């Protein structure tokens, strides 16, 4: 009661004093002046009032004519300057990941895709014991070529990675960040696992990419539509790998969520080859789309098959750069088509005929890997040889122990096969299928 009385008394006193009148009149006059100047400003614009909202939208997004007014145009300009400086022989950045018991397979895949121009990051997930990680690191350290060129890194920090969960994306993004920080020179990022293997040499690949626009992303993509949309986008999952220290399966909630309306959902293979500008766009996050989509995918099952795909296809600038292919030969079990089958001798011809640079998946030390080494890679010692290996190979010596100029390539039959695939992928007909 006394409180209320006080308030009444207080306001009454203020009104009584009329201290407010002068400031009120002054601000009212200012308000009226501003209001009329805005209104008259609007009507002197050449456009009609209806066009204004769309103007604002395009202004804040990516209208070049807005240059200079907003921070985004500065960011865009500095990115473009970065991009222009990339010429000459290309460089690739590889992530090779594995789990418990994979360290030897990872070393084999690494040796098969090794080239001194490239960058490599190896990640053994948290299921592998520390001893194995240490062993992998010491294998890398003991290699004279790796320690001279300093382009192979083993991640000491290992992540708990759940198959089909967002922790896989987090791990890939972390590896990309490391590669971006450690080397300013590479052009494409490639994602491999311990059970992947190349079907052509790095000389074949680097030679073929020399001629290619550095803006092309290889990422299999298709829009999720129809009944699949309900089935894929409504369930909500939780990846315990985000907060538990022991591996367990994805948890499914009983709640379902509605379909997104502010972006479209795309899906495709989890194996990608992405350009440096596009991964910088994803990692730096000065545009909010990659971050928003990342948060959305935290609760999406099979996020590695959708994250980059949805980001790239919802961005006007990048969607035209997405070529819908994952550069892998993968054979799926039939009919469920859910799991890749292990490749063996009987698949050799199909692998070669696919003209793809990589294949998966292979069992550890499957004999077909020896056949690939011998017939496709010409690998007789540690590395798949290239023009950079200028030592003698007589008497079982390793020609790559002496390194020559690494921007000269010696393309072979692999490059010819890849050229055939690239011709298809870059054709008008194929590119029409981008992000649709
Ligand atoms: C990257 O590679 C791994 C293979 O270790 C794969 O499982 C994963 O889904 C890939 N893709 C992404 C986007 O992380
Ligand atoms: C590169 O492009 C040029 C001109 O388009 C062409 O003549 C040449 O054969 C190409 N080289 C390769 C390796 O594709
Ligand atoms: C390596 O080869 C490239 C291309 O032929 C040439 O431009 C460059 O000067 C060479 N570098 C060295 C160190 O010889």
For the chain, how far is it from start to end, CA to CA, in angstroms? Answer: 68
Token pair listed for 283: 């990692």
User: What pLDDT is recorded for position 38?
Assistant: 54
Rg (CA), the chain: 28
Give, in order, the Cα–Cα distances in Å from 320 to each of 73, 163, 216: 20, 30, 9
- Let me know: does 140 contact 154? Beta carbons within 8 Å: yes
Q: What is the pLDDT of residues 288-332, one digit of tens each?
A: 999 999 999 999 988 999 999 999 999 999 999 999 999 999 998
Percent of the chain topping pLDDT 90: 65
**pLDDT tops 60 at residue 5:** no
Which residues have a Cβ under 8 Å from the Cβ of 400 and sit 6 or more positions away? Answer: 145, 381, 382, 383, 385, 388, 389, 391
Q: Whose CA is nearest to atom 11 of ligand 1?
A: 270
Q: What is the pLDDT of residues 387-404, one digit of tens each?
A: 999 998 888 889 999 999
Residue 332 or 336, more confident = 332
Of 45-49, 70-74, 125-129, give the range with the top mean pLDDT.
125-129
Question: With 70 as the cut, is the pLDDT of residue 181 above it?
Answer: yes
* CA-based nearest residue to 272, from 156, 176, 415: 176
Residue 327 region, left (φ>0) first, then alpha (ψ -120 to 50), else beta? left
- Under 8 Å between Cβ of 382 and 400: yes
pLDDT > 70: percent of the chain: 83
Structure tokens at 234: 């409504």
Ligand 1 pocket test, candidate residues 304, 309, 327, 339, most atoms within 8 A of CB: 304
What interhelical angle do 166-182 and 289-297 show, nearest 10?
A: 140
Q: Whole-angstrom Cα distance, residue 123 to residue 133?
A: 9
Distance 407 CA to ligand 3 centre (A): 6
Tokens 């007789």 locate to 380
The size of the chain, in residues, is 436
In contact, 371 and 348? CB cutoff 8 Å: yes
Q: Which of 13-27, 97-111, 293-307, 385-399 has the least mean pLDDT? A: 13-27
Determine the atom of ligand 1 nearest the C-alpha atom of 97.
5
Residue nearest to atom 3 of ligand 2 (CA): 211
Could you tell me if the CB of 245 is within 6 A of ligand 2? no
Distance 207 CA to ligand 2 centre (A): 10
65: Cβ below 6 Å to ligand 2? no
The 3-state DSSP class for residue 362 equals strand
How far is CA 178 from its chain centroid? 13
Q: Does a cis peptide bond (omega within 30 degrees of 0) precede residue 165?
A: no
* Residue among 206, 403, 405, 409 whose CB has most ligand 3 atoms within 8 A, to mutate: 405
Nearest CA to ligand 1 atom 6: 270
| Mean local confidence (pLDDT), 62-79 | 68
Atom of ligand 2 nearest to the CA of 415: 13
What is the dihedral sign for C-alpha 293, 295, 297, 303?
A: positive
Q: pLDDT tens for residues 142-156?
A: 999 999 999 999 998
pLDDT in tens, 117-148: 999 999 999 999 999 999 999 999 999 999 99
Q: Is the pLDDT of residue 81 over 90?
A: no
Nearest CA to ligand 3 atom 14: 405
Say whether pLDDT at 47 is over 70.
Answer: no
Task: Kindly state the helix (H) or strand (E) to which residue 261 belongs, with its residue range.
Answer: none
User: pLDDT category, 86, cuts 50, 70, 90?
Assistant: low
pLDDT of 265 > 50? The answer is yes
408 lines ligand 3 (CB under 6 A): yes
What is the mean predicted confidence (pLDDT) over 6-24? Answer: 53
Of the listed ligands, the closest to the CA of 409 is: 3
Q: In Å, what is the CA distance from 23 to each residue of 10, 20, 36, 118, 250?
A: 19, 6, 20, 69, 62
Residue given tokens 């997930």 in the structure block: 125
Query: Do 89 and 202 touch, CB atoms closer than 8 A?
Result: no
CA distance linking residue 342 with residue 333, whole number of Å: 9
Greatest alpha-carbon pair distance for the chain in Å reads 108
Report the alpha-carbon distance of residue 236 to residue 299 in Å, rounded.
5
Ligand nearest to the CA of 388: 3
Distance (Å, whole) CA 381 – CA 397 = 8
Which band of pLDDT confidence, cut at 50, 70 and 90, is reported for residue 83?
low
Note the pTM of the prediction, 2 decimals: 0.82
The answer to whether 234 and 257 have CB atoms below 8 angstroms apart is: yes
- Can you give the pLDDT at residue 45? 45
Secondary element (H or E) of residue 391? none
Ligand 2, closest atom to CA 208? 13
Statement: residue 37 has pLDDT above 70: no
Region 64-90: what's the mean pLDDT? 71
Is the CB–ligand 2 distance for residue 211 below 6 Å? yes
Least confident of 84-93, 96-105, 188-197: 84-93
Q: What is the pLDDT of residue 60?
A: 44
């Amino acid at each position: 009661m006394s409180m209320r009385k006080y308030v009444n008394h207080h306001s009454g006193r203020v009104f009584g004093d009329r201290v407010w009148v002068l400031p009120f009149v002054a601000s009212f006059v200012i308000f009226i002046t501003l209001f009329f100047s805005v209104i008259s400003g609007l009507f002197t614009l050449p456009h009609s009032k209806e066009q204004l909202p769309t103007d604002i939208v395009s202004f804040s997004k990516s209208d070049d004519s807005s240059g200079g007014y907003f921070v985004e145009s500065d960011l865009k300009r500095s990115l473009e300057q970065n991009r222009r400086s990339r010429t000459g022989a290309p460089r690739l950045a590889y992530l090779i990941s594995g789990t418990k018991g994979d360290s030897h397979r990872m070393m084999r895949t690494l040796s098969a895709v090794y080239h001194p121009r490239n960058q490599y990051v190896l990640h053994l997930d948290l299921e592998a014991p520390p001893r194995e990680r240490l062993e992998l690191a010491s294998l890398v350290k003991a290699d004279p070529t790796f320690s001279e060129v300093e382009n192979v890194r083993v991640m000491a920090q290992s992540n708990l990675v759940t198959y089909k969960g967002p922790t896989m994306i987090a791990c890939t993004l972390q590896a990309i960040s490391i590669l971006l920080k450690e080397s300013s020179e590479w052009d494409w990022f490639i994602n491999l696992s311990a059970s992947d293997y190349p079907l052509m040499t790095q000389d074949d690949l680097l030679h073929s990419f020399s001629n290619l626009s550095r803006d092309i992303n290889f990422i299999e993509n298709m829009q999720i539509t129809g009944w699949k949309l309900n089935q894929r986008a409504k369930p909500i999952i939780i990846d315990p790998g985000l907060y538990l220290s022991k591996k367990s399966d994805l948890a499914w909630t009983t709640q379902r969520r509605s379909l997104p309306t502010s972006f479209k959902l795309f899906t495709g293979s989890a194996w990608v080859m992405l350009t440096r500008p596009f991964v910088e766009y994803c990692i730096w996050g000065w545009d909010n789309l990659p971050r928003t989509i990342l948060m959305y995918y935290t609760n999406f099952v099979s996020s590695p098959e959708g994250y980059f795909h949805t980001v790239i296809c919802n961005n006007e600038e990048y969607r035209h750069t997405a070529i819908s292919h994952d550069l892998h030969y993968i054979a799926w079990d039939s009919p469920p088509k859910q799991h890749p089958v292990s490749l063996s001798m009987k698949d050799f011809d199909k692998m070669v005929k696919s003209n793809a640079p990589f294949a998966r998946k292979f069992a550890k030390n499957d004999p077909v890997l020896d056949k690939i080494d011998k017939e496709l890679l010409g690998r007789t010692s540690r590395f798949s040889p290239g023009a950079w290996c200028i030592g003698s190979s007589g008497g079982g010596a390793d020609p790559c122990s002496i390194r020559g100029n690494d921007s000269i390539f010696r393309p072979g039959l692999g490059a010819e096969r890849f050229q055939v695939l690239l011709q298809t992928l870059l054709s008008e007909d194929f590119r029409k299928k981008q992000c649709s």
